[in-house]
Structure 1
Amino acid sequence: MKSIKKYILSLGVVAAALSLGSCTGDLDLMPSDPRDITATDFASDPEGYMDQVMGQVYMAFVNHGPNNNSQVAGFDGGMSTFGRALFNLEEIPTDEACWQTSGDAGLYSLQYGNISSDNDAIFGSYSRLMINVALCNDFIRTVNDNLFALSTDEQKEKAAEYVRQCKTLRSVCYFYLMSLFGNVPYADESVAIGTMAPQMKSSEIFPLVTETLEAVVAEYGQGGQNPAYGYVGVDAAEGFLVKLYLNAEVFTGTPAWDKCLSHAKNIIARHQGKGFKNSGLTMGYHQNFAANNIDYVVGGKGVPEILFLLPQKYPELMSYGNATVMILGFIAEDVDKAFFNVGNGWKCAKGRPQLVNRFQWNDQQQTTSPDKRTALWRTSADGYVNDMPSLQQSQWNKNGYLTPKYINRNVDDNNAVDLNTQPAFNGDKYVTTNYPILRLAEIYLSAAEAALHGAGSKDEALTYVNLIRERAGVAPWSLAELTLETLQDERSRELYLENTRRTDLIRYGKWVSGLNWAWKNNALEGQNFAPTAVLYPIPSPVLAISPYQQNPGY
């Protein structure tokens, strides 16, 4: 009889979603049949085993793999965590960030926009997303086939809730798979084990994913508003519907601004009454990115701006991705380790000048800004230069500001860092700050964009945007100052480093051309990408063992 641990490990080495249950070389392509575990295993403690399996589904979003072992064979486990996979592909190649460590070859080349199907960072990110799809599907099948041997109404209702969560998590993965790769294998729980998942276009996957989330939201009704810490509920499900409909024209050729605004307003309405001007936003911007951000997630004791987060707490939940990389990656060993409450700085990531210049500054030297969203940055006042003559780590003090957004300390309602408390951390490795995937602020900005595209009024768009600006400590706009162009810049100021930028630029029509940044497409001043760069390539290891077609241009 196989143990639950072995079951999870058999699920864990999935590198690409192709044939359910087959194995080729080092690539386990889809999960092994859950029926390999006998009903006797589950019957001894049905609910306990179900909780453990569901916990491991969530762990695939939080750390490298079971017991911190990498689930992506042949790729750095820390770099293949879910949050870091998104950061690698959504932020590093854009005008918001870069990765200056040449030893991380896949990431180092991505910052220039050098993209090939052999890039291991692309393969690792693709694999992480497909692994998590597979885990969600296997859990749903196991429930549907009653392999957990559930017998009571309470157990069955809990299973139904877990199935809703798995459908939400799977849909989250497919949002990013469509955004990044376009034409990917699509599998839900109806695809039988041993069956090759069909490669489908985004326009074909989009209705399947949105219908799934619409059904999940409808099932929740007035429930699901206070999920357990680290779990998803109705806000995450409906929040990703907002993201899907916001990008509907990219995915399908047909916009869905009305649906985007409708779902955004549902979420906004649920969160009224607390926080900044009763908007549901936290009082302090960096409360969302601090060690006490557990208080500001749905179900927390504070203002629940964070709709979906990846938990991280040393020593219980450790990861080289998520908030760890977002703090240690953006500082050097000699930069305020005590202030950030960490044991090291990796000296890897910087903000590009185009991000810095997007903010308001108090002086020509760009030493300080009235914008609270820059409160943790290190600028010319600290000896850094807002210029990028190279992307080499050896030029660290001469090629860009440090733009950290996260801190391993508590932050109060005034956006002030509490230096009197010291949340846990481990040497140069792990921190205690959770990692937000989706915030209410993004919903406000998406609602404003949909309204400006005709789904609502410019007045309501202005109301939404000015909540964001005033919380940041900058002056509210007039109607004349709000345009799609200025809204795009405000979205970057609010959501920088939150894994939206590449997708946003593609939606704006500014990814290939229309906007340049330092070292875009290997040019100091930036130059256009090829039109086919709107999609990443399907990784060559996947194509080597499948009949799938490569994306155009690779």
Structure 2
Amino acid sequence: MQKTLRSILLVFFGLTFLWSCESDLELQPEDNRKTAENAFKDPDAYKQFLAKLYAGLAVSGQEGPAGNPDLEGLDEGFSQYIRLYFKMQELTTDEAVIGWDDGTIKDLHAQNWTAGNEFIRTMYSRIMYQIALTNEFIRQTSDEKLDSRGVDGELRGNIENFRAEARFLRALSYYHALDLFGNPPFVTDEDPIGAFLPEQIKRPALFDYIEGELLDIEDEIAAVGSNEYGRADQGAVWMLLSKLYLNAEVYTGTAHNAEVIEYTNKVINSGYQLADSYKKLFLADNNTNGAQNEIIFPITFNGKETQSYGGLTFIIHAAIGGDMKAADFGVSSGWAGLRTTSALVNKFQYQETEDEVIFEDNRGLFFTEGQSLEIDNISSFNDGYAVAKYRNVDVNGEPGSDETGEFVDTDFPMFRLADAYLMYAEAFVRGGGGSQANAVAYVNELRERAFGDSSENISAGELDLDFIINERARELYWEAHRRTDLIRFNRFSENGVWPWKGNVPQGTTTQEFRNLMPIPASDLGVNTNLTQNDGY
């Protein structure tokens, strides 16, 4: 599923009108004489197209790392899906800052972005592009299309499974649109291909659509453990439903905590297992070192086959600077950009000696030598502790497969069992039912892994919302959950303060409308059916 895809897929992309309506999104078929019908004469084309849908989360074009982009007019590293999603979810919070002066990137942490912010616009474009691809795959695999091509037998059964996976991937991207933008333009495979202005969907209606899609494919997609690593199965569907329900009150005004209990229970009781070491989850061999038993849905990377300047290549390189040695992280160089704030660091238990900072919680993977805890100047890499969570080395310290050390093998754990444990505990505290004993036991499993024994286990009386939001930070930092979590806890804009929020050193509150990103001005300018989110 990681292989770079070539000309056959460009046929489909050239046929698909990219309905985000931005002038810089232009795709051309490699050979205009080719048609979808000709392309699908090859039975392998269906799986190749599916592979492109997955690859759309990991790479930014047809060649990798650059040279034949999906989205014309956008830098390929800059516009990669996971790189952008990480920025939206982490740079806007207390968990990450970046020292670079690229365009308006610092406006993300300052929370003073506008509808013209190029990083927000490009995230929107990438989401809409991904949805356009999944729509076309679903069109090309309808019963009518398959009947017309005489597809039957084992191939037809496989395609039906592929179709369920494509619907999951579309639901995932629509979930990101729901969470970030609230009220995006809406198009499915039932809409015609061609130049038209899509209608805008309101947040509660989009919630209902995503929920309906996931429930519809729940029993159609592969069972847990029966699919290839990196492909979605029932566990991924249940996790996305759990995330959707956990944030339902933000999206619709109505809580769905009982449903969180229901679907996290399905995940927890499906045979996933916590990795025996927290660090293994973020290494180059996290697909084979035991961490794969905890990771429910990874975005896969390979230093030779899936080359991109986004994803974990970005996160690992950009987090290295100062006195850090790039070789310790299995890469050739550091880009000296990403660090964290004292607001995250101070959520961990640690001791300062004259020579070092010792974290008692082994999830506190920070590099402190030569780094100051507080940030006086965001542009200085030495201001703020560096995060040493992700590495392109295996459990034996051997670097990844790319001999140049430029591109990494480390997979991004979008969904993992630890998150299901914490969601269950939160839903219990929020009145969703379930078992208090189970909720406490799940949290303490994570803490025993973090501290090596039960000395820091919590009691039932300590399990409250304040504890949970902080424990989620300790367990899941830099995994692209923080913005969504802070909004759900009403601590993102008006009621949360951390260093350099609001563009002041000590931090300040911002206005509540920042809980939604703006619809990009460039799309508003061409689609008269769109209305800007309040405040922008």
Q: Structure 1 length normalisation: TM-score?
A: 0.89
> By how many angstroms is 1:532 displaced?
0.9
CA gap of 1:183–1:41, structure 2 versus 1, over 3 A, is closer
User: In the alignment, what sits opposite 1:390?
Assistant: 377
Larger deviation, residues 327-336 vs 430-439: 327-336
> By how many angstroms is 1:192 displaced?
2.1
Partner Cα distance (2:233, 2:117) in 1: 35
Q: Which amino acid aligns with 1:76?
A: D
User: In the alignment, what sits opposite 1:218?
Assistant: 219
User: In the alignment, what sits opposite 1:116?
Assistant: 114
Give the gaps of 5 or more residues in structure 2.
1-5
Q: Which amino acid aligns with 1:164?
A: A
Partner Cα distance (1:428, 1:522) in 2: 35
Name which of 473, 479, 482 aligns with 2:460: 479
User: In the alignment, what sits opposite 1:277?
Assistant: none
Structure 1 residue 209 and structure 2 residue 198: aligned?
A: no
Deviations 1:504-543 (A, max 9, x none): 1110011122220001111211111112111111111111
Structure 1 residue 454 and structure 2 residue 399: aligned?
A: no
Partner Cα distance (1:12, 1:95) in 2: 39
Structure 1 residue 10 and structure 2 residue 9: aligned?
A: no
Partner Cα distance (2:217, 2:77) in 1: 32
Structure 1 residue 369 and structure 2 residue 359: aligned?
A: yes
Deviations 1:342-366 (A, max 9, x none): 1000001001110011111033777
CA gap of 1:40–1:341, structure 2 versus 1, over 3 A, is closer
Deviations 1:107-163 (A, max 9, x none): 222121121111111111111111111101100000114268252221111111111
Deviations 1:236-280 (A, max 9, x none): 1111000000000000000000001100000100025xxxxxxx1
* SS of aligned partner of 1:436: strand
Partner Cα distance (2:390, 2:17) in 1: 31
Larger deviation, residues 62-71 vs 152-161: 62-71
* SS of aligned partner of 1:331: coil
* SS of aligned partner of 1:308: strand
Is the 2:322–2:381 Cα contact (8 Å) retained in structure 1?
Answer: no
User: In the alignment, what sits opposite 1:502?
Assistant: 483
Partner Cα distance (2:292, 2:404) in 1: 31
* SS of aligned partner of 2:437: helix
Partner Cα distance (2:181, 2:155) in 1: 38
* SS of aligned partner of 1:110: helix
Is the 2:13–2:27 Cα contact (8 Å) retained in structure 1?
Answer: no
CA gap of 1:211–1:6, structure 2 versus 1, over 3 A, is closer
* SS of aligned partner of 2:491: coil
User: In the alignment, what sits opposite 1:130?
Assistant: 128
> By how many angstroms is 1:178 displaced?
0.9
CA gap of 1:30–1:526, structure 2 versus 1, over 3 A, is farther
Name which of 487, 508, 524 aligns with 2:505: 524
User: In the alignment, what sits opposite 2:346?
Assistant: 357
User: In the alignment, what sits opposite 2:40?
Assistant: 42
> By how many angstroms is 1:71 displaced?
2.2
Is the 1:13–1:71 Cα contact (8 Å) retained in structure 2?
Answer: no
Deviations 1:12-47 (A, max 9, x none): 894x535xxxxx743349999x9971523422x2x2
Name which of 279, 283, 291 aligns with 1:290: 283
User: In the alignment, what sits opposite 1:91?
Assistant: 90
Q: Which amino acid aligns with 1:121?
A: F
Deviations 1:400-452 (A, max 9, x none): 000131111113xxxxxx23x33223536311111111111111111110011
Q: Percent of aligned pairs with the same residue?
A: 32
User: In the alignment, what sits opposite 1:415?
Assistant: none
Is the 1:334–1:345 Cα contact (8 Å) retained in structure 2?
Answer: no
Is the 1:518–1:525 Cα contact (8 Å) retained in structure 2?
Answer: yes
Is the 2:429–2:465 Cα contact (8 Å) retained in structure 1?
Answer: yes
Q: Which amino acid aligns with 1:512?
A: S
- The number of residues matched between the two structures is 518
User: In the alignment, what sits opposite 1:71?
Assistant: 70
Q: Which amino acid aligns with 1:537?
A: P
Deviations 1:265-313 (A, max 9, x none): 00100025xxxxxxx11001121110111126xxxx7651111111111
User: In the alignment, what sits opposite 2:494?
Assistant: 513
* SS of aligned partner of 1:437: strand
> By how many angstroms is 1:472 displaced?
1.0
CA gap of 1:243–1:38, structure 2 versus 1, over 3 A, is closer
Q: Which amino acid aligns with 1:323?
A: L
User: In the alignment, what sits opposite 2:519?
Assistant: 538
Is the 2:167–2:213 Cα contact (8 Å) retained in structure 1?
Answer: yes
Is the 2:11–2:29 Cα contact (8 Å) retained in structure 1?
Answer: no
Partner Cα distance (1:471, 1:451) in 2: 22
> By how many angstroms is 1:74 displaced?
2.7
Is the 1:75–1:120 Cα contact (8 Å) retained in structure 2?
Answer: no
Partner Cα distance (1:149, 1:449) in 2: 49
Is the 1:95–1:518 Cα contact (8 Å) retained in structure 2?
Answer: yes
User: In the alignment, what sits opposite 2:3?
Assistant: none
Partner Cα distance (2:215, 2:419) in 1: 19
User: In the alignment, what sits opposite 2:256?
Assistant: 256
> By how many angstroms is 1:184 displaced?
0.4
Deviations 1:195-243 (A, max 9, x none): 53321111110011011101111334x8253321321111111110000
> By how many angstroms is 1:396 displaced?
2.1
Is the 2:284–2:399 Cα contact (8 Å) retained in structure 1?
Answer: no
Partner Cα distance (1:449, 1:262) in 2: 13
Partner Cα distance (1:482, 1:372) in 2: 21
Q: Equivalent residues in 2 for 1:136-535 (5 A)?
A: 136-144=134-142, 145-146=144-145, 149-194=149-194, 195-220=196-221, 223-271=223-271, 280-295=273-288, 304-332=293-321, 334-363=323-352, 367-375=357-365, 377-379=366-368, 382-392=369-379, 395-397=380-382, 399-411=383-395, 418-419=396-397, 421-427=398-404, 429-455=406-432, 456-473=434-451, 475-535=456-516
* SS of aligned partner of 2:387: coil
Larger deviation, residues 73-82 vs 237-246: 73-82
> By how many angstroms is 1:491 displaced?
0.4
Q: Which amino acid aligns with 1:93?
A: T
Larger deviation, residues 161-170 vs 50-59: 50-59
Larger deviation, residues 34-43 vs 354-363: 34-43
Partner Cα distance (1:502, 1:6) in 2: 35
CA gap of 1:125–1:200, structure 2 versus 1, over 3 A, is same
User: In the alignment, what sits opposite 1:100?
Assistant: 99
Partner Cα distance (2:198, 2:14) in 1: 19
Is the 2:12–2:36 Cα contact (8 Å) retained in structure 1?
Answer: no
Is the 1:521–1:529 Cα contact (8 Å) retained in structure 2?
Answer: yes
Is the 1:333–1:344 Cα contact (8 Å) retained in structure 2?
Answer: no
Q: Structure 2 length normalisation: TM-score?
A: 0.91
CA gap of 1:31–1:125, structure 2 versus 1, over 3 A, is farther
CA gap of 1:327–1:201, structure 2 versus 1, over 3 A, is same
Partner Cα distance (1:369, 1:59) in 2: 37
Is the 1:64–1:81 Cα contact (8 Å) retained in structure 2?
Answer: yes
Partner Cα distance (2:229, 2:151) in 1: 27
CA gap of 1:64–1:41, structure 2 versus 1, over 3 A, is closer
Larger deviation, residues 182-191 vs 133-142: 182-191
Larger deviation, residues 186-195 vs 110-119: 186-195
User: In the alignment, what sits opposite 2:532?
Assistant: 550
Is the 1:57–1:132 Cα contact (8 Å) retained in structure 2?
Answer: yes
Q: Which amino acid aligns with 2:310?
A: G
Larger deviation, residues 306-315 vs 257-266: 306-315
